[in-house]
Structure 1
Amino acid sequence: MKRDYYEVLGVSKSSSVDEIKKAYRKIAKENHPDVKPGDKQAEERFKEATEAYAVLSDPDKKAKYDQYGHSGVDFNGQGFGGFGDFSDFADFGLGDVFEMFFGGGMGGGSRRKGPVKGADLRYDLSITLHEAAFGMKKQIEVPVSVYCTECGGSGAAPGTNPTTCSQCGGTGQIRATQRTPFGQIATTKTCVACGGKGTMISSPCSKCNGKGKVKEVKKIEVNIPAGTEDGLSLRYSGYGEAGERGGPSGDLYVVLLVKKDEFFQRNGNDIYVEIPITFVQAALGDEIDVPTLHGDVKIKIPEGTQTSKVFRVKGMGVPYRRGSGCGDQHVRVIVATPTKLTERQKELLSEFGKITTEGQQLGKKSLWDKVKDNVRDAIG
């Protein structure tokens, strides 16, 4: 003969839903098969308490039980059987059993109830090539949500507390069962009354309007490492959005975007530049000043230098982010053609052209010079 359900849980008819749930959880935790494996008495107490809770936690079934006793909630002898029959669990609304012991529940209710980490944030920070090369510290301001200090994140006005939602009993979900030719199927949906939170706020906090969070601008010092590449992401743990239900804050990812330089071009840790030189400098040679990220350096231009000649300046590139040393700078010289010549300059250049060979002017042998050399070689 079945015991009275109120006696099984140790509650009275006037007990609230929360009191019934609390009593059931205590018995279920103490007697669950995972806690006391092989203990038949504990298993029977667990099944008995689960059956009692399924009835007394449901307002309709509780009313029928109070009026008609066990006959009012007859389950056609199905009982609570083993854990493999999910239609039984759906029928009796036992998602809480799974939530307590297996961390899942019917429809993922525990994930909604437990702490949830806040969302991560991304901040794009533009920096110059010089800042990327040598590193520096920069302060940025990031708008982020934080727990309200007035209510401690509860959303309720100071001196008050959120109350358990009467519609879902604090689960944040409304469960229902549907009969099909294949048995009963359990369905869940977010509780409309509380928005899935499981609690209601009658007196919302005036500072956060009951949200439990407020927007705040955080000042963060970003340490840009020397040798930074374009797109490098720096992670700042805990500087993202505030979590849910006491969960930790998310992370902030600062993405460094290196702006294009109008003079220097970067390839890895090497720097490339183009420097114009005069016709006279190219022909006679010279020593010129060349700007680098590290400051001006002098390079020697040999006489007869041709346009697009590349000179390498060792160690004047971008510092290596890992390890010591720097890349190189590659200097391409471009011979500039003089313009707006005076009559005297034209006269001198014309004279110069008459007394120099084509090979001298072009910096290489002319086609006719090559033909003559080939004929000379063939004759012997």
Structure 2
Amino acid sequence: MKEDYYKILGIDKSADATAIKRAYRKMALKYHPDKNPDDHEAEAMFKKAAEAYEVLSNPNKKVRYDQYGHAAFDGAGGFSGGGMNMDDIFSQFGDIFGGAFSGGGGFSGFGGGFGGGQRRTKGGNLRIRVKLTLEEIANGVEKKLKVKRKIQAPGTTYKTCGTCNGTGQITRITNTILGRMQTASPCTTCGGSGQTIDKKPADADALGLVFSEETVAVKIPAGVVDGMQLKVNGKGNAAPGNNGIAGDLLVVIQEDEHPTLKREGDNLHHDLYVSLPDAILGTSKEIDTVSGKVRIKIEPGVQSGKILRLRGKGISSINSYGKGDLLVHVNVWTPKTLSKKQREFFEEMQNDEHFQPKPDNTDKSFFEKVKDMFS
């Protein structure tokens, strides 16, 4: 079971944004990898603090966490401490450390020794759009996607950069009226990787990379929405050099329009048209749902505008709040043309007391129905 984020940072729920940031900075400086080389416990605490700060520093995520705890992010493609490596943490929160560590708060080489080692470069991210039917969104699905990504070309070898001597940084010392000031910036020769090309095949680019097509299996949880972006770690473009890490694959969700169902959050809507005789006499109708067709009963004397609620026939919540409902809107279809015999019948019934509107307490107004629908 995950630890409480407030407990990790040593604050309570009333803490404001400034207090949250202050608490995170204090922990991050204490357990920073440059300060605790080869200390796996410190590294774990550093990641825990970053995970807690990533959620509590975001107002929307903080509200969801305060209401539902860790369940608010289960299966949502959100933050996961196990999926965020050290480079991710420093790319997002590096400015918090100010100049306390080498490189103005940058990370000095996770995985290759702390403190002045080679910087790990990260390959570029890729973005791919995937179309999903309403049925796939409702139930979750695994998609096999063909991805064209850059990988290191076979036979490519690298050597230590002669400009920065493998550190990935160029240090400059400037004399000022305040004394000598030292600044560091990424090496322009190797791009901060600390390595340059030694040998590469003819078909490789200047970084020793070539395009390769790969099939990536992506598990898409139920309840995703149009425009949502899921991240698959390490399936983007490869980074040059021997110590780089691949970028990520960003999967953008596109929801295909359903022919009879309209989505509103986790609820679905269906417009059902019935004839005047069916509305008077009652009938049964077969309609679409995201789990197959179902038959519903229309009671005799149903009024146009009545809403029938099929509970649990909507979309599963992305945040595990349950399932939405299917709202069937009954519309009584009035014919625009009549035969002579039909017209004579309705003219005869026009003043019949059974055809006179007599709404009772159970017949709600349009505004009451709208209110019920949203509640």
Give yes or no for TM over 0.5. yes
1:361 and 2:356 correspond: yes
1:214 to 204, 210, 214: 210
Mapped to 2, the partners of 1:137 and 1:190 lie a distance apart of: 40
Aligned equivalents of 2:129, 2:296: Cα separation in 1: 38
Is the aligned partner of 1:133 residue 2:138? yes
**Structure 1 pair 338/207, CA: closer, same or farther in 2 (3 Å)?**
same
Residues 113 and 301 of structure 1: CA distance in aligned 2, closer, same or farther (over 3 Å): same
Q: Distance in 1 between matches of 2:322 and 2:192?
A: 57
Could you tell me whether the CA contact under 8 Å between 1:150 and 1:207 is conserved in 2? no
Residue matched to 1:250: 247
- Alpha-carbon deviation of 1:310? 1.1
Q: Tell me, in whole angstroms, the C-alpha distance in 1 between the residues paired with 2:179 and 2:131.
A: 61
Q: 1:309 to 1:108 in 2, by over 3 A?
A: closer
Q: In the aligned structure 2, how far is the partner of 1:184 from the partner of 1:325?
A: 63
Structure 1 residues 200-229: Cα deviation after superposition (integer angstroms, max 9, x where no partner)? 657654231441222222211222334444
Structure 1 pair 273–187 and aligned structure 2 pair: CA distance change class (3 A): closer
Report the Cα distance in structure 2 between the residues aligned to 1:142 and 1:320, rounded to whole angstroms.
Answer: 29
Secondary structure at 2:315's aligned position in 1? coil
Structure 1 residues 340, 118: closer, same or farther in 2, change over 3 A?
A: same
Corresponding residue pairs, total: 254
Query: Which of 153, 174, 177 is 1:148 aligned to?
Result: 153
| Contact persistence 1:109–1:172 (CA under 8 A) | no
Q: Deviations over 1:118-172 (max 9, x none)?
A: 34433332211111112333221222221121214x2xxxxxxx4753x665666
SS at match of 1:303: coil
SS of structure 1 residue aligned to 2:289? coil
State the superposition RMSD in angstroms. Answer: 3.7
Instruction: Assess if the C-alpha contact under 8 Å between 1:109 and 1:171 holds in 2.
Output: no
* Paired residue secondary structure (1:362): coil
2:261–2:288: 8 Å Cα contact kept in structure 1? no
Gaps of 5+ in 2: 1-99, 110-116, 361-375
SS in 1 for 2:216: strand
What TM-score comes out, normalization by structure 2 length?
A: 0.56
- Structure possessing the higher radius of gyration over alpha carbons: 1
Aligned to 1:266: 263
Cα separation, 2, equivalents of 1:237 and 1:278: 54
What's the secondary structure of 2:346's corresponding residue? helix
Question: Residues of 2 paired with 1:168 and 1:324: CA distance?
Answer: 53
After TM superposition, the score normalised by the length of structure 1 is 0.55
Hey, what's the Cα distance between the residues in 1 that align with 2:104 and 2:142? Answer: 50
Q: Secondary structure at the match of 1:248?
A: coil
Contact 2:119 2:194 in 1 (8 A): no
Cα distance in 2, alignment partners of residues 303 and 181 from structure 1: 93
The CA deviation at 1:190 is 6.3
What pairs with 1:306-325 in structure 2 (closer than 5 Å)?
A: 306-319=303-316
Asked whether the equivalents of residues 313 and 328 of structure 1 are also in contact (C-alpha less than 8 Å), the reply is: yes
The letter of the residue matching 1:294 is S
Question: Paired residue for 1:104?
Answer: 102
Identity score, percent? 32
